[in-house]
C-alpha cells in the first residue's frame, strides 16, 4: 500500500460498526493501518473490535446510542485516550421506520431524525471541537477526515421514506457546512450515498443473485471508497457527495438553476406567472418521472456490468 493510502498511526471512529456497512468500513480502515473505535448499540461492537484485534489490528468498542449528544465526546475521548489521536470519523449509524407520509407517526419521524441526523451532528460536533483545539495548539492545520452516510433518497425522494429522505438531506447539508467550517483547520468532510446489501436493506435488495465473484452490492465495495476518502490521498476532496455501489463511484454535481423567470414590471402577478410557468411545465408528467430519469442516468453506467439495483 502506498504511503498516501496508508492509515498507519491514525485513529478512526466508526459508528454503527457492529454489523453490515459499518463493520466493513471498520475492517477496511483497520486493514489500512488505522486503530478503530467501534461504536454500536450492542454486542456487535465488541465482536467487530475483537475481529480486528484477532487479525493483528488495534480496536476498542464503545457501546451507546449516537443520538446521545454526550456519546460524541466519549468517542473522541476514547480515541485520544486509548490510541493517542483522533483522525477519522465515519458516521454510519442509522435506523429505518418506513412509512408513507399519511401513515407516518410522530415517533417514526423523531426516531429516524434523531439517530441519523442528530447522531451525525453529535459526533461531528465533538470531533470538530477536538480538531479546532488541536489546530490552535499546533499553530496550523491538522489531519482530520469526516465521511458521512447520506442516501440517494435525499436526491430523488423516496415515497415510503419521508423521514429517512429528510434525515439524509440534512446529513448532506451538515456535511457541506462541516466541510466549509473546518477546512481552515485541515479537515476534509465528504458524504457517500451507498447501496449495500445489509440487514437494514434486506427488504429492498433481497438476496445476492450474482453467479460468481464479489456481490455487486457487497459492503466491502463501499468500504474501499471510505478508506480512500479517509486517507492522505484524498486531501484535495472536500464537501463532495459520492454515490457508490458495484463497480461505480459517481460524483454528484451541486444543484444548479435550471431556468429563470423575470417579471415584466416590479413584481409578478398570478396571471403573469401562469403565462410563464404553466407552459414551461406542461407535459412533463408527475414528479416520479423526473426521479426515475435521474436514477436512470446513474443506472446507465451500471447496467452494462450487471450492477444495477434499486435506490436506497
For residue 59, the cross-strand partners are: 36
Q: Please say whether the beta carbons of 146 and 87 come within 8 A.
A: no
Nearest by Cα to 140 from 84, 188, 184, 177: 184
Give the whole-angstrom CA distance, residue 48 versus residue 37: 10
Q: Which of 164, 185, 228, 245 is catalytic?
A: 164
Number of H helices, E strands in the chain: 11, 8
- What end-to-end distance do the CA atoms of the chain give, in Å? 32
Cell 436526491 locates to: 155
Q: Please say whether the beta carbons of 69 and 52 come within 8 A.
A: no
Cell 415517533 locates to: 107
Q: Please say whether the beta carbons of 31 and 4 come within 8 A.
A: no
Question: How many Å separate Cα 49 from the centre of its chain?
Answer: 22
Q: Please say whether the beta carbons of 193 and 151 come within 8 A.
A: yes
Active site residue 164: yes
Between the CA of residue 295 and those of 29, 162, 164, 186, 192, what are the distances in Å? 30, 18, 18, 34, 16
Report strand pairing: 248-251 vs 241-245: antiparallel
Contacts of 136 (CB under 8 A, 6+ apart): none
Report strand pairing: 35-40 vs 11-14: parallel
Which grid coordinates belong to 122? 453529535
Q: Which of 67, 150, 151, 230 is catalytic?
A: 151
Active site residue 151: yes
Q: Which of 124, 135, 150, 168 is catalytic?
A: 168
Which grid coordinates belong to 82? 486509548
Residues recognised as catalytic: 151, 164, 168
Amino acid at each position: 500500500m502506498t504511503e498516501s493510502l496508508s492509515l498507519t498511526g491514525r485513529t478512526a471512529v466508526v459508528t454503527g460498526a457492529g454489523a453490515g456497512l459499518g463493520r466493513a468500513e471498520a475492517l477496511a480502515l483497520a486493514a489500512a493501518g488505522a486503530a478503530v473505535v467501534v461504536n454500536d448499540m450492542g454486542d456487535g461492537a465488541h465482536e467487530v473490535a475483537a475481529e480486528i484485534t484477532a487479525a493483528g489490528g488495534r480496536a476498542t468498542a464503545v457501546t451507546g446510542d449516537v443520538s446521545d449528544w454526550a456519546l460524541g465526546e466519549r468517542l473522541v475521548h476514547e480515541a485520544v485516550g486509548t490510541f493517542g489521536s483522533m483522525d477519522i470519523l465515519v458516521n454510519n449509524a442509522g435506523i429505518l421506520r418506513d412509512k408513507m407520509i399519511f401513515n407516518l407517526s410522530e415517533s417514526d419521524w423523531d426516531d429516524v431524525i434523531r439517530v441519523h441526523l442528530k447522531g451525525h451532528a453529535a459526533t461531528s460536533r465533538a470531533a470538530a471541537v477536538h480538531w479546532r483545539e488541536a489546530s490552535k495548539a499546533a499553530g496550523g492545520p491538522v489531519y482530520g477526515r469526516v465521511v458521512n452516510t447520506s442516501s440517494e433518497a435525499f436526491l430523488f425522494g423516496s415515497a415510503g421514506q419521508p423521514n429517512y429522505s429528510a434525515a439524509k438531506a440534512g446529513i448532506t447539508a451538515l456535511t457541506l457546512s462541516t466541510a466549509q467550517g473546518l477546512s481552515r483547520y485541515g479537515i476534509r468532510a465528504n458524504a457517500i450515498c451507498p447501496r449495500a446489501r445489509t440487514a437494514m436493506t434486506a427488504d429492498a435488495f433481497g438476496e445476492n443473485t450474482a453467479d460468481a465473484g464479489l456481490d455487486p452490492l457487497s459492503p466491502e465495495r463501499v468500504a474501499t471508497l471510505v478508506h480512500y476518502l479517509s486517507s492522505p490521498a484524498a486531501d484535495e476532496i472536500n464537501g463532495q457527495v459520492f454515490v457508490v455501489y458495484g463497480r461505480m463511484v459517481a460524483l454528484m454535481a451541486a444543484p444548479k438553476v435550471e431556468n429563470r423567470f423575470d417579471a415584466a414590471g416590479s413584481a409578478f402577478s398570478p396571471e403573469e406567472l401562469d403565462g410563464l410557468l404553466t407552459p414551461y411545465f406542461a407535459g412533463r408528467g408527475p414528479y416520479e418521472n423526473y426521479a426515475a430519469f435521474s436514477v436512470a442516468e446513474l443506472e446507465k453506467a451500471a447496467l452494462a456490468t450487471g450492477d444495477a439495483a434499486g435506490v436506497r
